[in-house]
Amino acid sequence: MSAGRCLHLLQTNATHASRVLKESHSLVRAGCARAASVVAKWDPGLNEREQIAPGIELTRVKLATLGLPRKLPWQAVKEVEWHSKVVRLARGLNPSVVVCHSIRPLRAAVAIKRATGASLLYDAHELETECTQPRGLLRRLDKVMERRLIRHCDAVVCVGDLIADWYAREYRIARPAVVRNIPDSRIGTGAGDPPALRERFNVPENALLFIYSGGLFPGRRVEQMLRVFPRLGTSRQIIFMGYGPLEQAVRTSSATCRNVHFLPAVPAPEVIRFAARCDVGVVGVENVCLSNYYSLPNKLFEYLLAGVPILAPDFPEMRGVVARHECGWLVPEGDEAWLGAIRDLSPEGVHRAGERARMAAALYSWANEEQVFLKAYRQAMESRRA
């Protein structure tokens, strides 16, 4: 089967779609796709069309119903409009493979498969039906829809072994391939001089500097760190680098606490460069849902590639990396446990764990993960042709 166009379907605005970008680069580079189109949702202030890389274009679908409330009846109206516009757009693009990145676009992805004859690859970024949102009827509807539509997919991939096991067990399907969310260093890690974070925030030379990189959302340990660090004094300092609804809480704390600092989110290729200027990386996931408990976040790998040891919750997938390589510390739940773990770190211990983090980083690369993804992509193509 000759290489055609790959169509990625998202129901976000694609401003932070690093996995989609990695996969698109891999497909074009390997000759599995001649071009990649990303279809996402438009939000105010964003471009409707962008050329985000050679051979990779982005189209954001603008909805007339965008301003409607986010409750179930109105949400259904928006879904209908988005579905019809996306299927119409896809007919014009005539993709050979559709890659769907979450549950909500899956119905449109199946419709595009039927309308164009494309193959369908489902790339589940998390255990979406076991997240904190949505709740109630919406969550039950999502699970019913995923259970039904996943059988129309020609291949399925997910981001961790425990999630793959869950899908195989829950839906009685073949175990999905596991493609971990490791950064692609070949896309670049930013240019210019390293950021002088210690100087910028007046961090004392003998202080340990921690970084939290990612979404500033509830359930991500942000509020806990804002309780813990003010109790530690200036010998332990933290930079929150990200965006989200808890940004104002971080800014308020940074204005009153000498050891709490805020940086706006930087482009994904820049994260590793900024993290490398710190001493310890904090993985911000709380055990508020099964998806979090089973997670293996990309931030963990970003810290490893930055040569920074990891402070992470003692969850099974993260334990498999941190404990195996002795490249950080696993902490039980609770403020006092995290307070004690951070307070008891020594510069010598951080240095040793950093050396092991740099050694472990050599074992984790997108170059390895992309081979699994490309195999699943080709499997989808072959399955559809058969």
Q: What beta strand segments (E) does the chain contain?
A: 4-9, 33-41, 49-53, 56-61, 97-100, 119-124, 155-158, 177-178, 208-215, 236-243, 260-264, 280-282, 310-313, 328-331
Q: What value does the mean pLDDT of the chain take?
A: 93
Domains of the chain, CATH where assigned: 4-182+366-385 (3.40.50.2000), 187-361 (3.40.50.2000)
Q: Which pLDDT tens digit goes with each residue over 52-104?
A: 888 999 999 998 877 767 676 777 788 889 899 999 999 999 999 999 999 98
Distance CA 219, CA 39 (A): 28
Question: Residue 150, exposed/middle/buried by CB under 10 A (0-12, 13-18, 19+)?
Answer: buried
What does the block give as tokens for 124?
Answer: 């589940």
190 pLDDT higher than 60: no
What's the pLDDT score for residue 185? 79
Model pTM score: 0.92
Distance CA 359, CA 206 (A): 25
Q: Which pLDDT tens digit goes with each residue over 101-117?
A: 999 899 999 999 999 99
